[in-house]
Amino acid sequence: MNKKKIHISTILLNLLCIFLCVVIASPLLWILLNSFKTNQEMFMDSLALPKVWQFGNYIKAWSMGLYRYFGNSILVSSISLVGILVLASFLAYGLTRFRAKGSNIIFIIVLGGMALSEQIALVPLYNILQALHLYDTYAAVILPYIAFRIPFTVFLMRAYFISIPVELEEAAVMDGYNSLQIFTKIIVPISKPIFASCAIVNLNFVWNEFLFANVFLSNKAIQTIPIGLMTFKGDLKVDYTTTLAGLIIASLPLIILFLLMSKQFVRGLTSGAVKG
Protein backbone atom coordinates (compact mmCIF):
# COMPACT_ATOMS: atom_id res chain seq x y z
CA MET A 1 0.00 0.00 0.00
CA ASN A 2 2.81 2.38 0.89
CA LYS A 3 4.58 1.59 -2.37
CA LYS A 4 1.37 2.33 -4.27
CA LYS A 5 1.03 5.71 -2.55
CA ILE A 6 4.64 6.54 -3.33
CA HIS A 7 4.09 5.55 -6.97
CA ILE A 8 1.00 7.77 -7.24
CA SER A 9 2.83 10.66 -5.57
CA THR A 10 5.68 10.30 -8.04
CA ILE A 11 3.29 10.36 -11.00
CA LEU A 12 1.49 13.46 -9.67
CA LEU A 13 4.79 15.21 -9.03
CA ASN A 14 6.00 14.42 -12.54
CA LEU A 15 2.73 15.69 -14.02
CA LEU A 16 3.07 18.89 -12.02
CA CYS A 17 6.64 19.37 -13.26
CA ILE A 18 5.54 18.79 -16.86
CA PHE A 19 2.71 21.31 -16.43
CA LEU A 20 5.10 23.92 -15.01
CA CYS A 21 7.56 23.34 -17.85
CA VAL A 22 4.78 23.87 -20.41
CA VAL A 23 3.63 27.07 -18.68
CA ILE A 24 7.18 28.44 -18.55
CA ALA A 25 8.23 27.36 -22.06
CA SER A 26 5.05 28.42 -23.90
CA PRO A 27 5.76 32.20 -23.97
CA LEU A 28 9.35 31.60 -25.11
CA LEU A 29 8.21 29.27 -27.89
CA TRP A 30 5.55 31.81 -28.94
CA ILE A 31 8.17 34.57 -29.18
CA LEU A 32 10.56 32.28 -31.10
CA LEU A 33 7.83 31.21 -33.56
CA ASN A 34 6.62 34.75 -34.30
CA SER A 35 10.13 36.13 -34.64
CA PHE A 36 10.30 34.29 -37.98
CA LYS A 37 7.08 35.83 -39.36
CA THR A 38 6.04 39.08 -40.94
CA ASN A 39 3.91 41.47 -38.88
CA GLN A 40 0.88 40.65 -41.02
CA GLU A 41 1.27 36.91 -40.47
CA MET A 42 1.65 37.38 -36.73
CA PHE A 43 -1.58 39.36 -36.41
CA MET A 44 -3.52 36.98 -38.67
CA ASP A 45 -2.57 33.85 -36.70
CA SER A 46 0.17 34.05 -34.10
CA LEU A 47 0.07 30.29 -33.44
CA ALA A 48 0.49 29.11 -37.04
CA LEU A 49 3.82 28.24 -38.60
CA PRO A 50 5.35 30.93 -40.85
CA LYS A 51 4.62 30.59 -44.56
CA VAL A 52 8.16 31.74 -45.24
CA TRP A 53 10.68 31.71 -42.41
CA GLN A 54 11.90 35.29 -42.05
CA PHE A 55 15.50 34.80 -40.87
CA GLY A 56 16.10 38.35 -42.02
CA ASN A 57 14.32 39.60 -38.89
CA TYR A 58 17.38 38.66 -36.84
CA ILE A 59 19.77 40.36 -39.27
CA LYS A 60 17.55 43.45 -39.24
CA ALA A 61 17.40 43.53 -35.44
CA TRP A 62 21.18 43.20 -35.19
CA SER A 63 21.81 45.91 -37.81
CA MET A 64 19.37 48.33 -36.15
CA GLY A 65 21.89 48.83 -33.37
CA LEU A 66 21.33 45.76 -31.23
CA TYR A 67 25.00 44.85 -31.63
CA ARG A 68 25.98 48.05 -29.80
CA TYR A 69 23.52 47.51 -26.96
CA PHE A 70 24.61 43.87 -26.76
CA GLY A 71 28.24 44.90 -26.37
CA ASN A 72 27.34 47.47 -23.70
CA SER A 73 25.40 44.85 -21.75
CA ILE A 74 28.33 42.43 -21.90
CA LEU A 75 30.70 45.13 -20.61
CA VAL A 76 28.40 46.28 -17.81
CA SER A 77 27.42 42.74 -16.82
CA SER A 78 31.00 41.43 -16.79
CA ILE A 79 32.36 44.22 -14.58
CA SER A 80 29.32 44.12 -12.29
CA LEU A 81 29.45 40.34 -11.95
CA VAL A 82 33.15 40.29 -11.10
CA GLY A 83 32.66 43.06 -8.54
CA ILE A 84 29.67 41.32 -6.94
CA LEU A 85 31.34 37.92 -6.67
CA VAL A 86 34.70 39.22 -5.40
CA LEU A 87 33.34 41.61 -2.78
CA ALA A 88 30.54 39.31 -1.63
CA SER A 89 32.81 36.27 -1.36
CA PHE A 90 35.38 38.16 0.72
CA LEU A 91 32.68 39.50 3.01
CA ALA A 92 30.89 36.16 3.36
CA TYR A 93 34.14 34.33 4.09
CA GLY A 94 35.16 36.93 6.65
CA LEU A 95 31.81 36.66 8.43
CA THR A 96 32.06 32.87 8.68
CA ARG A 97 35.73 32.49 9.64
CA PHE A 98 36.86 35.63 11.48
CA ARG A 99 34.78 35.78 14.64
CA ALA A 100 35.35 39.46 15.33
CA LYS A 101 33.16 41.45 17.70
CA GLY A 102 30.10 42.76 15.93
CA SER A 103 30.28 40.29 13.02
CA ASN A 104 26.68 39.24 13.60
CA ILE A 105 25.59 42.88 13.60
CA ILE A 106 27.47 43.43 10.33
CA PHE A 107 25.70 40.42 8.81
CA ILE A 108 22.29 41.75 9.92
CA ILE A 109 23.11 45.17 8.42
CA VAL A 110 24.15 43.51 5.15
CA LEU A 111 20.93 41.51 5.05
CA GLY A 112 19.03 44.75 5.67
CA GLY A 113 20.18 45.82 2.23
CA MET A 114 17.88 43.17 0.76
CA ALA A 115 14.91 45.14 2.05
CA LEU A 116 15.95 48.35 0.28
CA SER A 117 13.82 48.94 -2.81
CA GLU A 118 15.34 50.22 -6.04
CA GLN A 119 12.47 52.68 -6.44
CA ILE A 120 13.07 54.20 -3.02
CA ALA A 121 16.80 54.64 -3.67
CA LEU A 122 16.33 56.05 -7.17
CA VAL A 123 16.24 59.79 -6.33
CA PRO A 124 19.10 59.70 -3.76
CA LEU A 125 21.23 57.69 -6.18
CA TYR A 126 20.51 60.15 -8.96
CA ASN A 127 21.67 63.06 -6.78
CA ILE A 128 24.80 61.18 -5.68
CA LEU A 129 25.76 60.26 -9.25
CA GLN A 130 25.24 63.84 -10.38
CA ALA A 131 27.39 65.15 -7.52
CA LEU A 132 30.19 62.67 -8.34
CA HIS A 133 29.92 63.42 -12.10
CA LEU A 134 29.20 59.76 -12.78
CA TYR A 135 25.77 60.27 -14.34
CA ASP A 136 25.47 58.93 -17.90
CA THR A 137 28.58 56.76 -17.60
CA TYR A 138 29.00 53.01 -17.28
CA ALA A 139 29.79 53.49 -13.59
CA ALA A 140 26.32 55.00 -13.08
CA VAL A 141 24.78 51.54 -13.40
CA ILE A 142 27.71 49.30 -12.48
CA LEU A 143 28.13 50.69 -8.95
CA PRO A 144 24.41 50.44 -8.01
CA TYR A 145 24.24 46.92 -9.46
CA ILE A 146 27.14 45.82 -7.29
CA ALA A 147 25.76 47.52 -4.19
CA PHE A 148 22.24 46.13 -4.55
CA ARG A 149 23.30 42.54 -5.29
CA ILE A 150 25.94 42.11 -2.56
CA PRO A 151 23.44 41.42 0.31
CA PHE A 152 21.68 38.51 -1.40
CA THR A 153 24.97 37.09 -2.69
CA VAL A 154 26.53 37.26 0.79
CA PHE A 155 23.46 35.47 2.16
CA LEU A 156 23.92 32.57 -0.29
CA MET A 157 27.71 32.34 0.00
CA ARG A 158 27.76 32.52 3.79
CA ALA A 159 25.44 29.50 4.01
CA TYR A 160 27.75 27.56 1.69
CA PHE A 161 31.00 28.56 3.39
CA ILE A 162 29.62 27.44 6.76
CA SER A 163 29.24 23.93 5.33
CA ILE A 164 32.97 23.71 4.46
CA PRO A 165 34.93 21.83 7.18
CA VAL A 166 37.25 24.07 9.16
CA GLU A 167 39.77 21.21 9.32
CA LEU A 168 40.75 21.92 5.69
CA GLU A 169 41.85 25.42 6.63
CA GLU A 170 43.59 24.26 9.79
CA ALA A 171 45.65 21.83 7.72
CA ALA A 172 46.51 24.64 5.30
CA VAL A 173 47.66 26.84 8.19
CA MET A 174 50.00 24.03 9.27
CA ASP A 175 51.46 24.12 5.76
CA GLY A 176 52.19 27.84 6.08
CA TYR A 177 49.24 29.28 4.14
CA ASN A 178 47.94 32.72 5.10
CA SER A 179 44.25 33.69 5.04
CA LEU A 180 44.31 35.01 1.47
CA GLN A 181 46.05 31.88 0.18
CA ILE A 182 43.57 29.66 2.01
CA PHE A 183 40.68 31.54 0.43
CA THR A 184 42.03 31.63 -3.14
CA LYS A 185 43.63 28.16 -3.26
CA ILE A 186 41.26 26.10 -1.12
CA ILE A 187 37.90 27.79 -0.53
CA VAL A 188 37.33 29.15 -4.04
CA PRO A 189 38.10 25.89 -5.92
CA ILE A 190 35.74 23.82 -3.76
CA SER A 191 33.06 26.53 -3.85
CA LYS A 192 32.53 26.53 -7.62
CA PRO A 193 28.85 25.46 -7.28
CA ILE A 194 27.88 28.47 -5.17
CA PHE A 195 29.91 30.82 -7.38
CA ALA A 196 28.07 29.42 -10.40
CA SER A 197 24.69 29.83 -8.68
CA CYS A 198 25.44 33.42 -7.68
CA ALA A 199 26.80 34.21 -11.15
CA ILE A 200 23.62 33.04 -12.89
CA VAL A 201 21.24 34.72 -10.43
CA ASN A 202 23.11 38.04 -10.52
CA LEU A 203 23.67 38.00 -14.27
CA ASN A 204 19.94 37.50 -14.77
CA PHE A 205 19.31 40.65 -12.72
CA VAL A 206 22.03 42.82 -14.27
CA TRP A 207 21.37 41.74 -17.86
CA ASN A 208 17.63 42.45 -17.66
CA GLU A 209 17.66 45.45 -15.29
CA PHE A 210 15.64 48.33 -16.71
CA LEU A 211 14.96 51.00 -14.08
CA PHE A 212 18.51 52.15 -13.30
CA ALA A 213 19.60 51.84 -16.93
CA ASN A 214 16.63 53.91 -18.08
CA VAL A 215 17.19 56.71 -15.54
CA PHE A 216 21.00 56.84 -15.31
CA LEU A 217 21.91 56.31 -18.99
CA SER A 218 20.71 58.86 -21.55
CA ASN A 219 23.52 58.49 -24.08
CA LYS A 220 22.50 55.88 -26.68
CA ALA A 221 26.14 54.93 -27.18
CA ILE A 222 26.34 53.33 -23.71
CA GLN A 223 22.76 52.08 -23.23
CA THR A 224 22.19 48.40 -22.48
CA ILE A 225 19.89 45.88 -24.17
CA PRO A 226 16.68 46.49 -22.14
CA ILE A 227 16.81 50.17 -23.11
CA GLY A 228 18.04 49.48 -26.63
CA LEU A 229 15.05 47.30 -27.43
CA MET A 230 12.83 50.31 -26.80
CA THR A 231 14.36 52.02 -29.84
CA PHE A 232 12.68 49.40 -32.04
CA LYS A 233 9.42 51.19 -31.29
CA GLY A 234 8.73 54.15 -33.56
CA ASP A 235 6.37 57.05 -32.97
CA LEU A 236 3.62 55.67 -35.19
CA LYS A 237 4.62 52.09 -35.92
CA VAL A 238 6.10 49.13 -34.08
CA ASP A 239 8.00 46.39 -35.91
CA TYR A 240 6.84 43.59 -33.64
CA THR A 241 8.53 40.64 -35.30
CA THR A 242 11.90 42.38 -35.40
CA THR A 243 11.48 43.27 -31.74
CA LEU A 244 10.73 39.63 -30.95
CA ALA A 245 13.88 38.62 -32.83
CA GLY A 246 15.79 41.12 -30.71
CA LEU A 247 14.32 39.58 -27.55
CA ILE A 248 15.51 36.14 -28.61
CA ILE A 249 19.03 37.45 -29.28
CA ALA A 250 19.04 39.23 -25.92
CA SER A 251 17.99 36.01 -24.15
CA LEU A 252 20.63 33.77 -25.69
CA PRO A 253 23.54 34.55 -23.30
CA LEU A 254 21.47 33.70 -20.22
CA ILE A 255 20.05 30.54 -21.77
CA ILE A 256 23.48 29.30 -22.89
CA LEU A 257 25.06 30.13 -19.53
CA PHE A 258 22.37 28.27 -17.61
CA LEU A 259 22.63 25.21 -19.86
CA LEU A 260 26.39 25.11 -19.33
CA MET A 261 26.24 25.65 -15.56
CA SER A 262 22.88 24.11 -14.61
CA LYS A 263 24.39 21.26 -12.55
CA GLN A 264 26.65 23.63 -10.62
CA PHE A 265 23.71 26.02 -10.15
CA VAL A 266 21.51 23.37 -8.53
CA ARG A 267 24.36 21.99 -6.40
CA GLY A 268 25.25 25.43 -5.13
CA LEU A 269 21.74 26.35 -4.04
CA THR A 270 20.88 22.97 -2.51
CA SER A 271 24.18 22.65 -0.62
CA GLY A 272 23.80 26.07 0.93
CA ALA A 273 20.16 25.47 1.78
CA VAL A 274 20.66 22.05 3.38
CA LYS A 275 23.96 22.53 5.21
CA GLY A 276 23.68 26.25 5.96
Domain holding 145, by residue range, is 58-275
Residue 51 has pLDDT above 90, yes or no: no
What pLDDT, on a 0 to 100 scale, did the predictor assign at position 276? 41
What pLDDT, on a 0 to 100 scale, did the predictor assign at position 149? 92
Residue 5 has pLDDT above 70, yes or no: no
Q: Number of structural domains, the chain?
A: 1
**Cα 242 from Cα 250, distance rounded (Å):** 12
What pLDDT, on a 0 to 100 scale, did the predictor assign at position 266? 66
Instruction: Please state, rounded to an integer, the average pLDDT across all residues of the chain.
Output: 85
What pLDDT, on a 0 to 100 scale, did the predictor assign at position 72? 93
List CB contacts of 234: < 8 A, sequence separation 6 or more: none
Q: Confidence band (pLDDT; 50, 70, 90) for 258?
A: confident
**Does the residue 33 lie in any domain?**
no
Q: Confidence band (pLDDT; 50, 70, 90) for 81?
A: very high
**Cα 154 from Cα 94, distance rounded (Å):** 10
**3-state secondary structure at position 259:** helix
CATH of the domain at 201: 1.10.3720.10
Angle between helices 240-275 and 67-97 (to 10 degrees): 10
What pLDDT, on a 0 to 100 scale, did the predictor assign at position 270? 60
**Does the residue 188 lie in any domain?**
yes
What pLDDT, on a 0 to 100 scale, did the predictor assign at position 237? 66
**Does the residue 10 lie in any domain?**
no
**Does the residue 122 lie in any domain?**
yes
**Does the residue 258 lie in any domain?**
yes
Q: Confidence band (pLDDT; 50, 70, 90) for 108?
A: confident
**Cα 181 from Cα 107, distance rounded (Å):** 24
Q: Give the residue-averaged pLDDT of 190-199.
A: 88
**Does the residue 205 lie in any domain?**
yes
Q: Give the residue-averaged pLDDT of 164-174.
A: 83
**Does the residue 114 lie in any domain?**
yes
Q: Give the residue-averaged pLDDT of 130-150.
A: 93
Q: Which amino acid is at 85?
A: L
